[in-house]
Amino acid sequence: MAADTTAVGQDRFITLNGLRTHYVEWGYEDRPAIVMLHGLRSYARTFEPLAQRLGDRYRVLAPDARGRGDSDWDPKGEYYTESYVADLEQFADRLGLDRFVLLGHSMGGTTTYVYAARHPERVGAAVVEDIGPGSSLSGEGAKRIKREVANTPPDFPSQEAARAYWRDIRPNISEDALDSRLRHTLAPDGEGRWRWKFDLAGIAAARLDPDPARQVDLWPYVDALRCPTLIVRGGESDFLPAATMAAMTQRNPRIHTVEIPGAGHYVHDDAPDLFHHRLTRFLRSSEVVR
């Protein structure tokens, strides 16, 4: 039987478009593959609790996007959708993923829409967590994230200070999710302070002062989806309006939607049991299985 990486998840590295990229692998190599893409200020192991629950049935692969986690920072500051899609294209090619499920949260959801629309032969099903057309461009959620990115401190005097920072902007985050976030997004700088493991300056520049030509209208990609697609919205989210989610189902009958009560933008963190339940029910549906 192929190697089992179900419980812990194996850290691996691959070069994508000239950047050394870290990814984590759970499950068995001979099982159906799920690629999980994290959000703007997140990291591969944000999906660890979910991946561990899926590892008996699937091979789960979660990369740290360029500029995050243990992946290289981009010296050119190419933190745009086209770059993330290009990285995913090479990732799938290098790992020989001919057919797989693609799951993306927030920024990773944008990549999911675009890649799935462009590569219908490879994506058997798509799952998008709390993002839709316009989410990153306007609305209360977009404004909030811009404020948070602009006001993110470059470092902290202690892990306790970092914990208080995250607790302030995400008051409902669980202790387990917060511990994970602190463990994987911060590192000591050798001078008594804790610094981000992601390229704060480069990511902030692309988010706060983007090149208009690099911004993406997601509606054409939503319309072009040819695989079964599940959109998951947090019931308390300010980022994906319910009206936008409804409009997506009207425009493309392949799209299914679910709202998770009590969850915010980080649905997989805020309601892990319900998220897992809805995801597995979708993946086991006859539409996806066939």
Q: Give the DSSP per-residue string, 31-44.
A: SPEEEEE--TT--G
Instruction: Judge whether 233 and 240 are in contact, CB under 8 Å.
Output: yes
In a domain, 165, yes or no: no
Q: What is the pLDDT of residues 109-122, one digit of tens each?
A: 999 999 999 999 99
In a domain, 3, yes or no: no
- Asked whether the CA dihedral 82, 21, 240, 280 is positive or negative, the reply is positive
In a domain, 149, yes or no: no
- What burial class does residue 155 get, using C-beta atoms within 10 Å of its C-beta: 0-12 exposed, 13-18 middle, 19+ buried? middle
Inter-residue long-range contacts of 270-277, CB under 8 Å, 24+ positions, other chains counted: 270/172, 270/173, 270/174, 270/234, 271/234, 272/49, 272/50, 275/50, 275/129, 275/232, 276/50, 276/53, 276/54
Specify the pLDDT at position 2: 57
Pair of tokens at residue 85: 């899609």
Whole-number Å distance between alpha carbons of 77 and 202: 5
In a domain, 197, yes or no: no
Whole-number Å distance between alpha carbons of 54 and 51: 5
Whole-number Å distance between alpha carbons of 80 and 241: 23
Whole-number Å distance between alpha carbons of 211 and 227: 31
CA 267 vs. chain centroid, Å, equals 11
Whole-number Å distance between alpha carbons of 21 and 84: 12
What is the CB-side half-sphere exposure of residue 202 using CA atoms within 13 A? Answer: 16
CATH number for the domain including 99? 3.40.50.1820
Q: What is the dihedral of CA 69, 45, 6, 260, to 10 degrees?
A: -160
Residue 180 is classified by DSSP as H
Specify the pLDDT at position 123: 97
Q: Which domain holds residue 58?
A: 10-137+213-289
In a domain, 196, yes or no: no
Profile the chain (290 residues) by mean pLDDT over runs of 10 residues.
68 98 96 97 97 96 97 96 98 97 98 98 97 92 93 94 94 91 93 94 93 91 98 96 97 97 94 96 79
3-state DSSP of 94-149: HCCCCCEEEEEECHHHHHHHHHHHHCCCCEEEEEEECCCCCCCCCCHHHHHHHHHH
CA 190 vs. chain centroid, Å, equals 30
The number of domains in the chain is 1
- Residues in the chain, total: 290
Whole-number Å distance between alpha carbons of 243 and 259: 12
Specify the pLDDT at position 273: 96
Residue 182: count of CB within 10 angstroms of its CB: 17
CA 69 vs. chain centroid, Å, equals 13
In a domain, 203, yes or no: no
Specify the pLDDT at position 6: 61
In a domain, 2, yes or no: no
Residue 176: count of CB within 10 angstroms of its CB: 12
Reported pTM: 0.95
Pair of tokens at residue 28: 């068995």
In a domain, 185, yes or no: no
